[in-house]
Amino acid sequence: MLSADQLLATLWHRKISFLLTFALVLGAAAAVTFSLPKVYASESYVLVVAARQSSSDYEATQTNQVVLKTYSELLQTRGVAAEVAEALPFRHSIGDVQDAISVTPVSQSQLIRVVGRSSSPERAQVLTDTYTRVFVERASDLSDEIGNNIRVSIGEPASLQSAPVEPQPRLYLLVGAFLASLLAAGVALLRDRLDQRLEIPATATEVLGLPILARIPAQRVRERDLLDDTASGPKAAMMREAFSLLITNIAFLEEGERPRSLTVLSAGEGEGKSTCCLGIARAATTVGATVLLVDGDLRRPRLTTLLTEGGTGVHGFSDILAGGPLPETRELATDPKNPRLSLLPAGASPDNPVALIGSGLRRVDHWARSTFDLTVYDTPPVSVGADGTLIAANADVALIVIDAQRTRRAGVVQAVEQLQRVHARLVGVVVNRAEDAGEASSKYYLAGTKKRDRKAR
C-alpha cells in the first residue's frame, strides 16, 4: 500500500493524466447539470385544530400528533390526487400529481406542510394551491359527517417561488468535483501501475543501482556531425560536450585511466547505441587517444552503413573472426577530418554470429589493444541475441544506453541481469534523448552563436 508521500509523488508524476481525467469528469458533470430541466417548488400549510381541549398538556400533545399523522396520510391518498387532477387547469395524471406532491407534518405544531413541484413556478403554485384546497374541502366534509370537532383550514396559501429548486448547480458541481478527484486519482494510479516505461527523474543519479554517467540531450543531429568538430550549430556542440563529459566520467571510474576496450549495449532496438559509440569515439580522440570503432553488430551493421561507402560487403570484423588476416591500420576506414579515429566494418554477414564471435573475439581484441589506445564496440541489442553479451564479457568496461522516452523497464532489467550473469563489467548508464539534459548549455551555446554572428557582421 502506498504511503501518503508516495501517493502524492505518483499523482504529481501523473499530473497530466490526473488533470485531464478531472477536467473530463467535471465537464461531463457540468454538462449533465446544466442540461437537466428546471424544477420549481411551491409550499402551503394546512392547519388542523381540535375543537375540544384535552384534560392535560401531555394528552393534548399526543392527540395532536395522532391527528396530524392521520391527516397527513389522508392528504396522500389516491382519491385526493384524482380530484386534484380533475380540478387542475392543465393536464396531469393521478400518478403525476402523487409524484409532484410531498406532505410532511411539522413537528411540535398543528401544521402540515404541502410542497408541490412542477416545470414552472406558476404551475407549481397552482398545483400546490389546488391540492391544499381540495383536501381542506374533503376534510371539512368528513368532519361534518362524523362530527369529530376537528377543523381543517388553509394555514398559508401556496407561495410563488421564482428560483428553481432543481438542479442545484453548486451542490451538483461540488459532488462532481469530489467524484472527479477520486476517478482522476484512480486513473493516474492505474496508468502508473500499467506503464512499463523506465521513468528516470531529472534528479536521479542511478538507474537499477547503476550510476548515470551522462545524459545525452534529445536533439536532432546527424551522426556524422558528432565526428566533425567544425560542424556548426549549438545542437551538435551540446551533443559533443555531453560525450566529452561521458568519457571523463568513464576515466574517473577507472581512477583517471581510460579503459582499453569499451562495449556499448542497449536492451532494445533504436535506443541510440551507434550514436553513443560515435560520440564516445570522437570525445576520446580530442584528448589524444587513437580509437578503433568496431561494428560488432553483424546482423544490422549501423556504423558500417554510416561511415563507409562499401556497405556490408567490406572486409571487416566477421572476416577476421573467421580467421582472416588482420588489417593494417592504413587499410581501415578512417575519417579524413579525424585521423585518430578508425573503423573496423562489420564485414560479411555470417550465418551464426554468436559462434563466430565466441571463437575469434580474443584474437581481434588482442590485436586492437596492441594497435589502438581505445576500442569501442557497437553491438546488437541484448534482447536480439548473445552477441553483445559475449563482447561485453571480453571488454574492460560496458555501458548500457537507455532511451529516456521509450525504454521499457522489463527489458532493461533482463539486459542487466544477463550481463551480470556473464560477469561483464557494467560500469554505468547513458541516458539518451533526455528532455531535461542540456537546457542550461543550450542557452549558453545559443548566446555564443549569436555573439559570433554579430561579430561576423
Q: What is the pLDDT of residues 134-183, one digit of tens each?
A: 888 887 776 665 556 678 888 889 888 888 888 888 899 999 999 999 99
pLDDT band at 19 (very low <50, low <70, confident <90, very high): very high
pLDDT(446) > 80: no
Distance of CA 12 to the CA centre of its chain: 10
pLDDT at 238: 81
In 3D space, the residue among 49, 73, 76 whose CA is nearest the CA of residue 63 turns out to be: 49
pLDDT(376) > 90: yes
Q: Establish how many alpha carbons lie within 13 A of residue 150's alpha carbon, considering only the half-sphere containing its beta carbon.
A: 23
Mean pLDDT of 38-53: 81
Which amino acid is present at 214? Answer: A
C-alpha cell at 85: 387532477
pLDDT at 20: 94
E-state strands within 28-110: 40-50, 101-105
Lowest mean pLDDT among 102-111, 165-174, 375-384: 102-111
In 3D space, the residue among 220, 176, 222 whose CA is nearest the CA of residue 31 turns out to be: 176
With a pLDDT cut of 90, the percent of the chain lying above it is 25
pLDDT at 240: 81
Mean pLDDT of 11-38: 90
In 3D space, the residue among 193, 178, 205 whose CA is nearest the CA of residue 14 turns out to be: 193
pLDDT at 292: 93
Tell me the CA distances in angstroms from 355 to 197, 210, 362, 364, one per residue in order.
33, 30, 13, 15
pLDDT band at 220 (very low <50, low <70, confident <90, very high): low
pLDDT at 2: 65
Mean pLDDT of 428-456: 58
pTM above 0.85, yes or no: no
**Can you tell me which residue has the cell 385526493?**
80
pLDDT band at 31 (very low <50, low <70, confident <90, very high): very high
How is the beta sheet containing 333-335 ordered, strand by strand? 206-207, 210-217, 426-434, 397-403, 261-266, 374-378, 291-295, 338-344, 333-335
pLDDT at 6: 72
**DSSP string for residues in 238-290:** HHHHHHHHHHHHHHHHTTT---SEEEEEESSTTSSHHHHHHHHHHHHHTTT--
Q: Establish how many alpha carbons lie within 13 A of residue 219's alpha carbon, considering only the half-sphere containing its beta carbon.
A: 24
Mean pLDDT of 431-441: 66
Q: Which domains does the chain have, with CATH numbers?
A: 4-31+167-194 (no CATH), 40-156 (3.30.1890.10), 206-456 (3.40.50.300)
pLDDT at 1: 61
pLDDT at 294: 92
pLDDT band at 51 (very low <50, low <70, confident <90, very high): low
Query: Tens of pLDDT along 322-362?
Result: 888 888 877 786 666 778 889 899 888 888 889 999 888 99
pLDDT(451) > 60: no
With a pLDDT cut of 70, the percent of the chain lying above it is 83
pLDDT at 58: 58
C-alpha cell at 343: 573503423
Q: Which residues pair with 184 in a beta bridge?
A: none
pLDDT band at 445 (very low <50, low <70, confident <90, very high): very low
pLDDT at 449: 42
C-alpha cell at 50: 381540535
Which of the pair, 255 or 428, is modelled with greater confidence?
428
pLDDT(379) > 80: yes
pLDDT at 390: 93
Which of the pair, 93 or 446, is modelled with greater confidence?
93
